[in-house]
Amino acid sequence: MLDKFKHKINISVASILVIWLFVISALIGISLGFEDWFIPKTPLNLLIGFGLLIINLDFSSSKAKFTFVIAFVLGMGVEILGVATGEIFGVYYYGDNMGLKLLGVPYMIGLYWAVLVSATSMIVRNIFNSIFLTAVAGAMAMVILDIFMEVMAGRLDFWHFEKNIVPMQNYIVWFIVAFILHLISYNWIPLKGVKYSLHLYFTQLTFFIVTYLILS
């Protein structure tokens, strides 16, 4: 029993070290002027974070898997409609540094929606017991991260808003979609992998904040 517990601890610690290693390496590389090499590797970084999320969280049940798929599909769907119409998030388009696209939207964006919902769900559910409060807190956590992402998204060629102005509706829709997904995930994804989720969230936050300080 003790060996099994140590094994789980080691996986969690190793996963946390890996995601921080990648982020810190990227930040050092960018600060040294190798932005053009590191930024296009963003999809790889997201895939590693996703792979470690699968290891640390419990997606063994069909409901947990289905929740992740819903987050991916809804995230991709609303982004595709957003890019096509300019009516959901505002007028914007995706650059080349997020990898392969479907109808103008990188697959990594759908994956990012699913990863962020899963990670923030673990964090807020460890704080609140109410489904409503967790949905609000989880959605707010995602909007806060988006605020920092928007500051650097154009500079990093992730996505570009018309006239480089992010409309308020972008954050409102982010909150609404995230709120819905958090309601779904509350009872469907088992509460496991809180430490990894917390570090995953803060590596993303750290990356965009420090990148802004380096490149601005």
- Residue 9 pLDDT class (50, 70, 90 cuts): low
HSE, side-chain direction, 13 A CA sphere, residue 36: 1
Question: What pLDDT is attached to residue 4?
Answer: 53
Q: Which of 43, 193, 12, 47 is nearest to 120 (CA)?
A: 193
- For residue 161, CA distances in Å to 58, 90, 149, 154, 210 come to 36, 7, 12, 8, 22
- Domain housing 44: 2-215
Question: For residue 96, which phi and psi values (nearest 5 degrees)?
Answer: -100, -10
Please give the tally of structural domains in the chain.
Answer: 1
Question: What pLDDT is attached to residue 2?
Answer: 43
- Residue 113 pLDDT class (50, 70, 90 cuts): very high
Bigger pLDDT: 136 vs 8: 136
C-alpha span between 91 and 164 (Å, rounded): 10
- Is pLDDT of 92 > 70? yes
Helical axes 131-153 vs 168-188, angle rounded to 10°:
140
C-alpha span between 102 and 83 (Å, rounded): 11
- Residue 43 pLDDT class (50, 70, 90 cuts): confident
Mean pLDDT of the chain: 90
